[in-house]
Amino acid sequence: MDLTRLVEGLEDTTPVVRTDFSDAVAWRRVLERLATPSSVEDYEPNVAPVEDRAFTSTTGEALAENAASIGPIGYVLLADERSMTEAAAGTEITVAYVDLSPYAFEDAEDFNTFPGRTFRCVVEEVASIEANLSIANMDFHEFADNVEADGVFRGFPEE
């Protein structure tokens, strides 16, 4: 698996890696929903689709293993089989958010994160997560540690 495509030409964006190629219509739905601006200040996520069959069935752990050879990448979204099934069914769509950030390698314990740490989030939260991570306003673990009982981040609970 060549991860150079995740870093070349995608500076300042979060790659959305398609790992399931079973349904082109579902993939388009995932991308359309990801492009929907956030309800907070209409922020549109800065994401870039990556369609390469070499990433079929890729997991966060597999990306982390391969990323070590080229250095830290940042964050990656995986549109996997579950994402495609949800999109095809017209239900809530989730994607896997993967941490491959620079500090994940040197400061994993301090930041409570590890290369390949993954959590699922609804696509409506991607813009907010991406914005906060891109300006280092929040750390990855703050989202990963606040998933609901089913393992999906749907936003922070109202206080």
> What is the set of domains in the chain, with CATH numbers?
4-152 (3.40.50.800)
* Average of per-residue pLDDT across 121-140: 89
Give the whole-angstrom CA distance, residue 137 versus residue 124.
Answer: 19
pLDDT of residue 22: 96
Residue 103 pLDDT > 60: no
Query: What pTM did the predictor assign?
Result: 0.87
For 146, the token pair is: 């606040």
- Of all residues in the chain, the percent with pLDDT exceeding 70 is 79
pLDDT of residue 109: 62
Name which residue leads in pLDDT, 7 or 52.
52
What does the mean pLDDT of the chain come to? 85
Per-residue pLDDT tens over the stretch 26-72: 999 999 999 887 666 677 888 989 999 999 999 998 888 877 666 66
